[in-house]
């Protein structure tokens, strides 16, 4: 048992996390503190999964499996609804800038800013940080960071309303698509970046 305790330590806890979702240029009324508000109100998120496709080739009565292409799952996060509904409004505006509700048009037509300068960008890099609790709550250490590259929202969930929904705070879920993820901080030892996975 002592060997197990020595290896696992205090373990990694799923409630110790933070997210950074920078809003792209062109979203109206975004200020410097709004990214922190989004992080503060994020109730749940996920560390991204890793999937590798399989090509099955029949050969003389057997099926040979060959490594295929990599795919990346949809990433989602759930947020508390703040009193001004500010965070929800930002995500709604982000989606509307990609494709408007009434005009079927886009004010942010490009995935990245290479073709459009500071305007016309609809994707961002989302950072998901796994934290390790420090001696003080505000001193939590980042032990691993995942960068979700070229991420953008594809849906903002409805919020159910009901007279009998007492003692609750409204929540909503945002789903994102992204092109790929990279480990930006934390190698297999958890202390330093893994050169094989970072930028």
Residue 199 lies in a domain: no
129 domain-assigned: yes
Position 195 in a domain: no
pTM of this structure: 0.82
161 within some domain:
yes
Q: From CA 16, how far away is CA 45, in angstroms rounded?
A: 11
Rounded to whole angstroms, how far apart are CA atoms 51 and 73?
Answer: 8
Residue 193 lies in a domain: no
Confidence grade of residue 10 (pLDDT, cut at 50, 70, 90): confident
**Tally of structural domains, the chain:** 1
Q: Phi and psi (nearest 5°) for 103?
A: -100, -5
Report yes or no on 152 lying in a domain.
yes
Residue 192: band (very low, low, confident or very high) from pLDDT cuts 50, 70, 90: very low
Contact 21, 36 (CB under 8 A): no
Tell whether 198 is covered by a domain: no
Q: Which of 79-83, 119-123, 189-193 has the highest mean pLDDT?
A: 79-83
Q: Are 50 and 182 in contact (CB under 8 A)?
A: no
Domain that holds residue 21: 2-47+54-185
As a residue count, the chain comes to: 199
Question: 173 vs 137, which has greater pLDDT?
Answer: 173
CATH of the domain at 19: 2.30.110
Task: Please answer whether residues 184 and 127 qualify as being in contact, where contact means their C-beta atoms are separated by less than 8 angstroms.
Answer: yes
Q: How confident is the model at residue 115 (pLDDT cuts 50, 70, 90)?
A: low
Buried/exposed 99-137: b ≥16 CB within 10 Å, e otherwise: eeeeeeeebbebeebeebeeebbbbbbbbbbbbbeeeee
Query: pLDDT at position 61, please?
Result: 94
């Amino acid at each position: 048992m002592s060997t197990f305790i020595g290896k696992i330590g205090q373990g990694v806890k799923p409630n110790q996390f933070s997210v950074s979702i920078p809003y792209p240029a062109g979203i109206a009324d975004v200020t410097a503190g709004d990214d922190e508000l989004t992080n503060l109100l994020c109730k749940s998120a996920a560390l991204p999964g890793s999937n590798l496709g399989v090509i099955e080739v029949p050969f003389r009565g057997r099926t040979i499996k060959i490594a295929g292409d990599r795919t990346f799952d949809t990433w989602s996060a759930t947020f508390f609804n703040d009193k001004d509904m500010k965070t929800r409004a930002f995500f709604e505006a982000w989606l509307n800038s990609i494709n408007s509700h009434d005009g079927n048009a886009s004010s942010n037509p490009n995935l990245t800013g290479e073709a459009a300068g500071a305007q016309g960008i609809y994707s961002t890099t989302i950072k998901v940080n796994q934290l390790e609790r420090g001696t003080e709550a505000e001193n939590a250490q980042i032990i691993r960071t995942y960068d979700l590259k070229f991420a953008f929202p594809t849906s903002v969930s409805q919020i159910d309303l009901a007279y009998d929904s007492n003692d609750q705070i409204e929540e909503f879920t945002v789903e994102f698509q992204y092109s790929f993820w990279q480990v930006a901080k934390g190698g297999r030892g958890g202390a330093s970046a893994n050169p094989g996975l970072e930028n």
